[in-house]
Amino acid sequence: MASPRQFRCGRIHETSMSGELKIRVLEDTDLNGVTQLDEKLGGGYRPEVWEHRITYYQRRDPEAPVVAEADGKVVGFMLGEVRSGEFGLEEPTGWIEVIGVDPDYRGQAIGRQLAEHILEHFRERGASTVRTLVDEDSEGIAGFFSALGFEPSTLRPFALKL
């Protein structure tokens, strides 16, 4: 699979042909696609939220966020970045923060491919660990990360209601 980040003598603005799946770096023109997919996943219609989130990732590490495109629309996305100093973790750590795959396209290894791309980028950025936080109630997501080889970490989440 060709990496979407290395531009060779190919396309700059990539679109998928019918039936074809494309994993590529997220672009500003995906704002709608991501907003719509989030809506389908039950988040409601929240364009401002996604404009803000995507702008955040794009200005910090625009090669990290990836989308999956099929049949001309966004059917999956994964947002994250490499940070250092978080929770006293001095070494650069990749954080996967938001994921979503269209329910109509699940079970086709789209989530896995999105993860492979973002992990490859984290490695290029010098990260040796990747972390994520999964809600105890989200068994599906936990199953997904386990299938990718993620293991429960010693870093335990704590929270206090304010």
Ligand X SMILES: CC(C)(COP(=O)(O)OP(=O)(O)OC[C@H]1O[C@@H](n2cnc3c(N)ncnc32)[C@H](O)[C@@H]1OP(=O)(O)O)[C@@H](O)C(=O)NCCC(=O)NCCS
Report 35-74 residues binding ligand X (CB under 6 A).
Answer: 41
Residue 44: left (phi > 0), alpha (psi -120 to 50), or beta?
Answer: left
105: CB partners within 8 A, 6+ apart: 68, 70, 75, 76
Q: How far, in Å, CA of 13 to CA of 32, rounded? A: 16
What does 32 bind: ligand X, other proteins, none (CB cut-off 5 to 8 Å by kind)?
other proteins
Cα of first residue to Cα of last residue in the chain, in angstroms, is 47
7 binds, among ligand X, other proteins, none (CB under 5 to 8 A by kind): other proteins
Q: How far is the CB of 66 from other proteins (least distance, A)?
A: 13
Over the window 1 to 30, marking each residue x when it contacts other proteins by CB under 8 A and - when it does not, the resulting string is ------xxxxxxx-x-----------xxx-
Do strands 66-70 and 93-101 pair parallel, antiparallel, or not at all (unpaired)? unpaired
> Rounded to whole angstroms, how far apart are CA atoms 78 and 58?
13
Pick from 72, 85, 126, 140: which binds ligand X (CB under 6 A)?
A: 140
Per partner kind, with CB cut-offs from 5 to 8 A, the member of other proteins, ligand X, none near residue 34 is none
Q: Report the nearest approach of other proteins to the CB of residue 33 (Å).
A: 8
Q: Which residues bind ligand X (CB under 6 A)?
A: 41, 98-101, 106-112, 140-141, 143-144, 147
